[in-house]
Structure 1
């Protein structure tokens, strides 16, 4: 038998990967900061598959179950008691059930036994199904990279045709492989992407690098090698690229990274400015409407406004630094512009602030969420601000009042992201995506849930509306990209990738969708 040694560093790295893949950005940062796991040269990470921690836990649990239910002669003990990772196991056989209920009527005996047998079979079936999915996933991940899915791009004309088919035939159509363009990058997960608003260029960010891809007109056209934007500084560790966005004119690309630096590149891949003011990782980055300023939000609890032309900071805001708990940093999670000089920020301190360039204090402070605020978005008219939180709610705020104008409460788990529907003429529609595997479309002015979109079976990390507001794309860690009808809530198109999805994004024309996958593919 081979000698199997498991180190604490290996366990720490699997936990770190689980936190990253589950979307716990600040928790994963603090964990790796304290364990120094990314600085450990003995840890080989290139072959670690997505979902590795759950995979090994499932195998360990299966082995433990087999060990519990093996008799001394090697035969299997037919136990009908449920087996759990967290509770002690006490075997129970069908004979035990018969003895216990011997004084009941035949009807009650049969009913009770049948229910337990049914539940036991269902539990076993679910466990086998989980193991089967893991094995299939392992086989898929071992495929050659050229056969894997990177950025999923589909023509809107095909979607429109299939919408008619779906409405008439009540069936969902898979996006054909012929409509897919695969961009093969490096060997790390792709976290973020941004479409150039003017040219057919797509920027993607991953560990240590960003790439600029030229998107072919047709999936059959050859793919040019990407322009690589190297983020390594001196002899320091290569940082993850956490945020990326083109300016409105499509001439400059801004990136934010785990090293706390913001960088500005031109579309040819030349580094224009390196901007240093933050002391900890950058989580969010946004250009204003004119493209002369952009915002960065950091784990260091501050927001910075940068002048993109001069490569200098204009103002640093530290209004989220007041609440501090157990010596843990309270990161600013997201920022969004209201206009060219006014913006909102949200934090794990449960607060939302509206600030303005030149002002030394916030214009407005919204307090109402009971847990960390993850994302904020101004509506297309910049009159209402939406927010979502780990408290399982989304709120819509107006500068005219302190309390939210509505609180959306129907999700069962944390709400990870939100998006406003563009070009909505009848009402203001907000999409919320949650760890409860659902997306909800809301009529916010009437505080009504229009549709609950239920096809995903794992956490939904990203949603993106088409520019005309007719369709919604959603990406989940169940490997599925789904395209929905906003008008009817119907699932129109599905693409099944090779791993979990971090981000989905429609281009400006609405004829393509970019998808970032966790298995180093996009």
Structure 2
């Protein structure tokens, strides 16, 4: 029999990770100090997010086997659930439902703690990529992705923005899916169904403008061929079913190459797949030993980057269908990558570092340090001269990458912190960001979305916050700037899509995804003036791909 050995340090390490995943920073710090975890070899070991919850779930399954393995009518028809805190007693009578009474939130409360519950994967482990790359949050409510109890008291403000607050005991009618206003053309909004579970990612084809891809938790990719009007879009998309032995090969990222002929698919099963327009596998490889969070084609399409939970990033030679180089520069999860130019790129990780790397070198050209917690996303500006990074430390930083040479720093990161522009103001993890310039101006600005529910606009030279939008009552998961830099769309766990005018800094249009599985996980904005195309794609928790024809919405179209 295999010997099982469990030490107190291992248990403390699991609890420490659970505290960190739940956002209980002070509790995690106190436990680490009290248990002297920093002195233990366990402290440096990687613990997957949700590991404690997964182990406890397995223990309950084992407990169920213990109680029911002998069979019989009582075991076969047992209606009693299994709990970590109660002894199981088989019964044919269902237990009485227990009512949870939520605490009252006073109307004048200056700040409201947002429920940042993560999606739950099919194995019971919280999903870490719902904010695109990853997001840490309390594991309080299982299964229903971002189910909204607190939204009942918050959405009343959104249902009628001009109305006064209703009495506390008033019966609230659930808001239906649809726009906030009554003037939006119904033909401007269409939901494409076909996925069996939540849709996590979406991407318009950059060359073949009628194509859009969507990826789902059901381990499938669909390539939809859009026709006008959107309501008559193809009901039979090209479907790519991921064949995998992995328990939950959820999709995390989709990336088209420049020509629009190839689609790279990142997945939780650690396998990179590149597909063609017919859905056939062009290339696949299992080099990574952990979930792949991000995949990015280089500007020319020659190279493909992947970032993985295993702490590495891989550079793939697309034409020759081979691995060119694997970079092992992070000491923890590699969470995002972005290209500076066709031969230089940046990677960031849970180790709080940003590395600038070359396709020809294994070691970093430069290393940026300064963040105090995991870096969630990085994005290079359109000219390839500056890089923005956002982190769980509630800050965003702007780094100068204009004079990056092919010579590695003698002491990487020595002066990086001093040169960064620090953007402070969010009160929770900053999850997503986007560069933009107002039409007719040259000043580069930045938008950031956070788990505090706010979206902020920044001057990237002075670090000044130019405006704060506080319309979301749940974490902001998605942010997309329109190609003409006139508008910004944000989506959140509260089910709302908001479109803002970046010029006037006002909200101009709102759409609600519905109260049942409401999350808006990803937004892609497509714009081609000569073809009269202006539309949004939305990856939705309600198992659908949302398509919004902006050209048919006067509130947006006429706001330029």
TM-score normalised by length of structure 2? 0.64
Which residue among 271, 285, 304 is the counterpart of 1:294? 304
Q: What does residue 542 of structure 2 align with?
A: 519
Q: Does 1:185 align with 2:208?
A: no
Q: Which moved more, 1:379-388 or 1:237-246?
A: 237-246
Which residue among 457, 470, 478 is the counterpart of 2:486? 470
**Cα gap change, 1:520/1:131 in structure 2, threshold over 3 Å: closer, same or farther?**
farther
Contact residue 172 and residue 491 of structure 1 kept, 8 A = no
Which residue among 345, 348, 352 is the counterpart of 2:347? 345
Q: What does residue 468 of structure 2 align with?
A: 452
Deviation at 1:447, TM superposition (A): 1.7
Higher helix proportion: 1
After superposition, what is the alpha-carbon deviation per residue over 1:379-417, rounded to whole angstroms, capped at 9, x for unaligned? 111100100001110000013552243100011111011
**Cα gap change, 1:508/1:396 in structure 2, threshold over 3 Å: closer, same or farther?**
same
Q: What does residue 500 of structure 1 align with?
A: 519
Q: What does residue 209 of structure 1 align with?
A: 220
Partner SS state of residue 266, structure 2: strand
Deviation at 1:423, TM superposition (A): 6.8
Q: What does residue 411 of structure 1 align with?
A: 426
Deviation at 1:178, TM superposition (A): 2.1
Contact residue 232 and residue 238 of structure 1 kept, 8 A = no
Deviation at 1:492, TM superposition (A): 1.0
Query: Equivalents in 1 of 2:537, 2:503: separation in Å?
Result: 22
Query: Equivalents in 2 of 1:288, 1:29: separation in Å?
Result: 33
Which residue among 33, 37, 61 is the counterpart of 2:100? 61
Q: Does 1:490 align with 2:506?
A: yes
Query: Equivalents in 1 of 2:314, 2:381: separation in Å?
Result: 22
Q: What does residue 174 of structure 2 align with?
A: 136
Contact residue 231 and residue 238 of structure 1 kept, 8 A = no
Q: What does residue 251 of structure 2 align with?
A: 241
Deviation at 1:426, TM superposition (A): 2.7
Contact residue 187 and residue 229 of structure 2 kept, 8 A = no
Q: What does residue 204 of structure 2 align with?
A: 195
TM-score normalised by length of structure 1? 0.68
1:269-418 aligned at under 5 Å gives the runs 269-321=279-331, 330-399=332-401, 402-403=416-417, 404-418=419-433
Partner SS state of residue 192, structure 2: coil
After superposition, what is the alpha-carbon deviation per residue over 1:32-79, rounded to whole angstroms, capped at 9, x for unaligned? 764676xx899xxxxxxxxxxxxxxx97332999xxxxxxxxxxxxxx
After superposition, what is the alpha-carbon deviation per residue over 1:107-163, rounded to whole angstroms, capped at 9, x for unaligned? xxxxxxxxxxxxxxx99x999979977x838xx6xxxxxxx78xx9xxxxxxxxxxx
**Cα gap change, 1:363/1:189 in structure 2, threshold over 3 Å: closer, same or farther?**
same
Pairs aligned (count): 391
Contact residue 436 and residue 485 of structure 2 kept, 8 A = yes
Deviation at 1:173, TM superposition (A): 7.2
Query: Equivalents in 1 of 2:345, 2:437: separation in Å?
Result: 20
Partner SS state of residue 353, structure 1: strand
Partner SS state of residue 272, structure 1: strand
Query: Equivalents in 2 of 1:303, 1:248: separation in Å?
Result: 21
After superposition, what is the alpha-carbon deviation per residue over 1:152-191, rounded to whole angstroms, capped at 9, x for unaligned? 9xxxxxxxxxxxxxxxxxx977744321121002221111
Q: What does residue 79 of structure 1 align with?
A: none
Query: Equivalents in 2 of 1:455, 1:254: separation in Å?
Result: 34
Deviation at 1:495, TM superposition (A): 1.0
Partner SS state of residue 178, structure 1: helix
Deviation at 1:436, TM superposition (A): 1.1
Deviation at 1:448, TM superposition (A): 1.8
Partner SS state of residue 304, structure 1: strand
Q: What does residue 421 of structure 1 align with?
A: 436
Deviation at 1:446, TM superposition (A): 2.4
Which residue among 219, 229, 232 is the counterpart of 1:221? 232
Q: What does residue 5 of structure 1 align with?
A: none
Q: Does 1:232 align with 2:243?
A: yes
Give structure 2 stretches of 5+ with no counterpart. 1-17, 23-46, 65-96, 105-112, 114-152, 157-164, 404-414, 546-560
Partner SS state of residue 363, structure 2: coil
Query: Equivalents in 2 of 1:307, 1:286: separation in Å?
Result: 12
Query: Equivalents in 1 of 2:171, 2:487: separation in Å?
Result: 33
Partner SS state of residue 428, structure 2: coil
Query: Equivalents in 2 of 1:426, 1:446: separation in Å?
Result: 15
After superposition, what is the alpha-carbon deviation per residue over 1:193-212, rounded to whole angstroms, capped at 9, x for unaligned? 11101211111111211111
Partner SS state of residue 101, structure 2: helix
Contact residue 439 and residue 460 of structure 1 kept, 8 A = yes
CA RMSD of aligned residues (A): 3.5
